[in-house]
Amino acid sequence: MRIALLLVLLASAPLAHAALQGPALMRTTISVADGAPSNTINALGYDDQGFLMVGTTAGLARYDGARFETLLSADHEGLDGDRIIALHRDPSGRVWIGAAQAAPCVLENDRFRRISEAEDLHSVRQFLATKDGALWLVGHKLARFHDDELEVFGEESGLPGGPLSRLVEDGEGSLWIATREGVFKRDADGFQCVDHRRSVWLTTDFEGYVWSQTASGDVVSLSGPPAETLSLGQVRLQDEVPHKGATRLLATSAGVFAMWRGDSPEQRLRIGTEGIAQLDVPRGVRCLLQGSGSVRDLWIGTELDALQYVETSSTVLVDLHQDFPRWAAAHVHPLPGGDALILGGDRQVAFLLDEKGKRTPIEVIDPSDYHSNSSASTSGVTWLSTRGGLARFEDGILLPDPRWRGPAGPIIASPDGDVWLVFQGRLEQVEAGRGSSGELASFPLPPSGIVALCYARGAPIAASRSELLRLDTKSGEWMTIAKLGQASVRHLRPGHGGEIWISTYGQGLFRLGAAGPLEHWSKAAGLPDPFLAWIAPVDDSGYLWVHSNAGVIRASTASLDAHAAGKTMTIEAQTFRVPEANGALGAVLANGAIALPTLEGVAIFDRSSLPPPSASPRVLIRGPYVNGAPMNEAGHYRDSVNVLYEFTAPIFPTSSHASFQYRMVEFDERWIDAGSARAARFPNLPNGRYTLEVRARTPTSTWSTPMRSKTLVIAPYWFERAWVRWSFAGAALLAVLRLFFLRNRSLGRRNFALTQEVSRRKAMEARLGASERRFRRLFHTAPSAILSWTPSGSLADRNERADELFAWGHDEVVEGHPWELFDDEELGKDAIQRAFVECEDFSLVAMTRVGDFQVKRCRWHFAPTRSESGEVTSIIAMISDLSRRDKDARTLADLRENLVRAEESERSRIARELHDDLSQRLAALAIEAHLLDLKRPSNGPTDESGMTETVRSFQSEIENVATHLHTLSRQLHPTIVDDLGLVTALRSECSRRNRTDKAPVELAIDSGVEEPPKETALALFRIAQEAIRNASRHSGATSIHVTLEVNGDSLELSVRDNGKGIGRAESPAGKGGIGMKSMQERARLAGGDFWVTSNPSGGTCVTARVPRHAEGLRRAMALRDD
């Protein structure tokens, strides 16, 4: 059986003439032998990274252009079947997969996710995305997936049971589905049968009307105007893909067919093989897929003949002669008018070739003129430099010029018509142009000879083996205008702007600007091939075309300029397949195509049919694999290892092989060419950090953005480290020197070296001394004492502040153990051991034996110093004298205590004044008022009654004032605390509050309470007095409970009420009032603690805890000072 390929794939090759030979299509077969899981291909698609997804009867495979990665259901959860029959990629990049007798699934982020259960939907053979954004799945049932929800349609929706064939959406957005019982159309009520004939395929024409292929093979119109039925017989449609223009490609059981518009309304659709090229494929085609990014390429999935890749060629070969169609052609010369002159060399073939491929024979007079190396054209005449000498082509005849016979070199012509020829060691002017004096000039060649010649900048320009030279036609001197090094020049092409393009064999492309330096582009800059030949003029789109051994290179002059200016790292250049160049000759035909001499004949390369530069491929790096195994998670290894990197990219067979470059980021500046290989091996990598960077390109793209691998770190063993090796090397060197000294005893020969060594060491010692002095200055001027001990316990160093603190002499040798400086030597031993053994920084406060047999409280801070290996070499202790701070703290505490005592003393004085003076006077006044009342006559006149009331009121008010003054004097200084003690004073105060306040006060005193010191008793009484007053005045309490109890070595006083509680701002933690702060300060001066607990919903408890005895008070105050 033969597979038909659409002629539109050949439309890019318009040179189809009887004289043109060679394939216009190139086909690549990819089968099981290349790693495919099966030769039966059921579905094709692309994933989100551009890899080709291939659905076969033996599993799903991912193909990158070189290798297959097979994905089986046994290895991947969510993938239920291996007989893949449908693939689809949605706009988000997810790949939908249908498998026979298995539930559909979706591949997203390299994970498979099942869409439904197999009993609900299986054997999905088609995915269709509709205009409303939904995705329809056609299997044994019909389903709709939208907004992450799957809706399955069964017989209740009007569809028949059994598997479904094909679903299409017409131009109006209606859905049509093919089944065994006919074609059904979806409307508002479900699916309705519109044609009862069994349908095996549905499609729409170019107007959106629906067509059905019936079981008999007929393709009938189901919607739209009446149309002629198409009969395909046994040919069954199985897949279709759009193509450029009003054309589609159809996969059928008989190969690839074409669908195009008909010529009349009755024949509005045509399907067939008319006008298509045939390729030999013995079995049918299951699926088609357009090439990625190009309408010129096509993937074909066949039933039994594996995967086929077909691409068009832009090159057509021209046979020189029917007797030797593939003989190498070496001589192609441009002619005015856009034709090319072809000379066959030893085969003695000569003809003209036009842009349509038509050949016109010419006559050659001298057989030696069949061999030519260059040509030049003036008005009406083309001059050729041949093996026989100079020849001229006129009127279809190649005539030898008798003046210049013998082997000739390059020939050029100026715009004015001057013709210059390299002949017998000289540059001869063979034709004088406009403005010439009429005399023909002759100049000797430069000593290094001439390998290429052009006319630019108003003079002949010659390339020798190492220089670019310009001839001064007035003086006859050759002037060097550029140095080319060892470049092997093949061709010179003058540009429109005065620049000169230079092709070389192996060294790449050069350009000499009109006023700039010589610029160079090699393979490292992105030039696909450095072995160049003929250069075509720059076209109107700004592309430079160069024939090379790898084909025709298209380079963007804008990218060349950007690279020369340092703006980009690589140039934009692509390669198109043309046979290897056979000489630095070529011609541009009238239609823009290029005629080139190649090792397989004359090639006509059509530049107009080429696609634009494609996107660079994305590179993926696998590995590294270290000693044959994947790299561990940390990426750290020891000793030298063997490393393998594998890399790939979705690059498929195109007009030339894809290429890769790689480099180690930490070591390589230049890229290393890997060609089409997809792996890089590095045996016995030494110690260091390694990160591989890889980039790729296709023949029609630029280099991709480099991708980096994971970083591999190879660390040396301890004996491989530099300092160990240097130590061994240094030791060995010293040993050798010692042996040398012992054996030779020649100090004279070592005198200069020793002098230099001494000078160097003195300089180092001077620098070390300066550093040491700076350190010692900081060490000795530190405000704290600093001591340093070795692990043996000996004092290694101390500063001047230590001498002052411990009263040591400046040169005194201090002996003894470090813990002997502690007043508590056991504490000192523990501290020293902790510093040496646990190797940690810590601080402590301890009584320290200082100078003059004193003991002071000091703060010690210990810090170990370590060697490079981590071993503790010494302990540094910083000692701060806390005695001055303690003295200041005690002074402050004494001031606070004196302030309270002064307050109590003043209260006592005021109370005595009130009691002894004002109270006595008020009492005397009360007595006098009483006496006055007694002296009043009992039977006096009635007007004395007012006076009596006045006297009694006066007496009552005086008594009230006296009572209030007595109470005030008790509050200012409760003498009852001094006279009767705390317990009696609290009972008296509670009784008084019960008489004067509304809220009753209850007092509970523990039986174990003993009389505390005077200061403590007064503080607790004042706290209780203030707390009761606050509860009575501000809380709105109905009851107040006062408790005094023993709590260990402390007395605990609490005043609790059931009032409204207090907020955070009124608590001691908040701002509080004067009363709160007074209670807190009295508790602190008594050596105790004070706190308030309150619930805003009701209730407050004021608590003070102070030491019971005077000794506890002193200890608490001491601890508080610490």
Boundaries of every domain in the chain: 3-313, 375-486, 620-716, 722-757, 784-880, 882-936+943-973, 981-1122
Residue pLDDT, tens place only, 739-754: 888 888 777 777 888 8
Residue 265 CA to residue 268 CA, distance in Å, equals: 5
pLDDT at 23 over 50: no
For residue 24, the model assigns a pLDDT of 58
How confident is the prediction for the chain on average, in pLDDT?
A: 83
Rg of the Cα atoms in the chain: 55
Residue pLDDT, tens place only, 453-463: 999 988 999 99
Residue 884 CA to residue 491 CA, distance in Å, equals: 96
Residue pLDDT, tens place only, 657-678: 678 889 998 888 788 888 777 8
Residue pLDDT, tens place only, 191-221: 999 999 999 999 999 889 999 999 999 999 9
Considering the four listed CATH numbers 3.30.360.10, 3.30.300.180, 2.60.120.920, 3.30.565.10, the one that applies to the domain covering 981-1122 is: 3.30.565.10
Question: Mean pLDDT throughout 953-960?
Answer: 70
Band (4; pLDDT cuts 50, 70, 90): very low
For residue 14, the model assigns a pLDDT of 34
Residue pLDDT, tens place only, 434-451: 767 678 899 999 988 899
Strands 363-364 and 397-405: parallel
Q: Is 217 left (phi over 0), alpha (psi -120 to 50) or beta?
A: left
Give 437's contacts (C-beta < 8 A, 6+ positions apart).
Answer: none
For residue 897, the model assigns a pLDDT of 66
Contact by Cβ (8 Å): 1024, 986? yes
Q: Is 1033 or 491 the better-scoring residue by pLDDT?
A: 491
Considering the four listed CATH numbers 3.40.630.30, 3.30.565.10, 2.130.10.10, 2.120.10.30, the one that applies to the domain covering 375-486 is: 2.130.10.10
Strands 105-108 and 95-99: antiparallel
Residue 277: closest CA among 27, 14, 5? 5
Task: Assess whether the region 620-716 and the region 784-880 belong to the same CATH fold.
Answer: no
Give 662's contacts (C-beta < 8 A, 6+ positions apart).
Answer: 645, 647, 671, 672, 674, 680, 692, 693, 694, 695
**98-112, 213-227, 357-371: which has the minimum mean pLDDT?**
357-371
The CATH H-level superfamily of 3-313 is: YVTN repeat-like/Quinoprotein amine dehydrogenase (2.130.10.10)
Question: Mean pLDDT throughout 474-498?
Answer: 90
Q: Residue 1111 to residues 894, 1028, 1115: CA-CA distances in angstroms?
A: 17, 29, 6
Residue 1105 CA to residue 556 CA, distance in Å, equals: 92
* Domain at 784-880: CATH architecture: 2-Layer Sandwich (3.30)
Q: Is 636 helix (H, G, I), strand (E, B) or coil?
A: strand
Q: Is 955 or 140 the better-scoring residue by pLDDT?
A: 140
Residue pLDDT, tens place only, 743-789: 887 777 778 888 888 888 888 888 888 888 887 787 777 888 888 88
Q: Is 816 left (phi over 0), alpha (psi -120 to 50) or beta?
A: left
Give the chain's largest Cα–Cα span.
186
pLDDT at 878 over 70: yes
What is the fold of 620-716?
A: Immunoglobulin-like (2.60.40)
> From start to end of 977-1018, where are the E strands?
1001-1005
Cα angle 158-161-164, degrees, rounded to a multiple of 5:
90
For residue 359, the model assigns a pLDDT of 85
Residue 656 CA to residue 579 CA, distance in Å, equals: 11
Helix (H) or strand (E) holding 491: strand 489-494
Band (137; pLDDT cuts 50, 70, 90): very high
For residue 538, the model assigns a pLDDT of 92
Beta bridge partners of 1091: 1103
Contact by Cβ (8 Å): 442, 429? yes
Residue 388 CA to residue 383 CA, distance in Å, equals: 13
């009230």: which residue's tokens?
960
